[in-house]
């Protein structure tokens, strides 16, 4: 785990300032995205360097219009998400906690 950079302390909780949700996270709890946890008054990025999936996808699968057509992109994802899109194509990793594995920059 790595200490987060964008948070502030309030009386009984930490406020994560990374996204518009501004989660109020009490000690021992995680934010809505499952990526940040309050550990003894400090906010940690618990998904740092950990992934659920790493795969190659065709560029056309991504929401980029005419960006390097017919090419391949490396898709890497941790657990959780701060959005709650009803049409989410990644609901199996965004809304279910799955086992993660550590991955280094050298491996990527």
Q: Which domain, by its residues, includes 85? A: 50-102
Same domain for 41 and 56, yes or no, is no
- Give domain status of residue 27, yes or no: yes
Q: How far, in Å, CA of 100 to CA of 50, rounded?
A: 6
Q: Which band of pLDDT confidence, cut at 50, 70 and 90, is reported for residue 33?
A: very high
Mark out the alpha helices in the chain (DSSP H runs): 91-94
pLDDT above 90 for 95: no
Same domain for 39 and 74, yes or no, is no
Selected residue with higher pLDDT from 35 and 63: 35
- Give domain status of residue 92, yes or no: yes
Same domain for 55 and 95, yes or no, is yes
pLDDT computed for residue 79 by the predictor: 84
pLDDT above 90 for 84: no
What predicted TM-score, i.e. pTM, was given to this entire model? 0.80
Q: Which band of pLDDT confidence, cut at 50, 70 and 90, is reported for residue 1?
A: confident
- How far is the CA of 86 from the CAs of 21, 42, 64, 93, in angstroms? 17, 32, 20, 14
């Amino acid at each position: 785990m790595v200490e987060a950079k964008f948070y502030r302390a309030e009386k009984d909780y930490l406020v994560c300032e990374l996204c518009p949700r501004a989660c109020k996270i009490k000690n021992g709890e995680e934010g809505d995205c499952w990526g940040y946890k309050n550990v003894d008054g400090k906010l940690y990025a618990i998904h740092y360097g950990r992934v659920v999936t790493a795969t190659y996808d065709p560029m056309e699968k991504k929401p980029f219009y005419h960006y390097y057509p017919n090419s391949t992109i490396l898709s890497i994802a941790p657990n959780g998400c701060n959005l709650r899109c009803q049409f989410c194509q990644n609901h199996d990793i965004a809304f279910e906690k799955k086992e993660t594995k550590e991955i280094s920059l050298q491996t990527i």
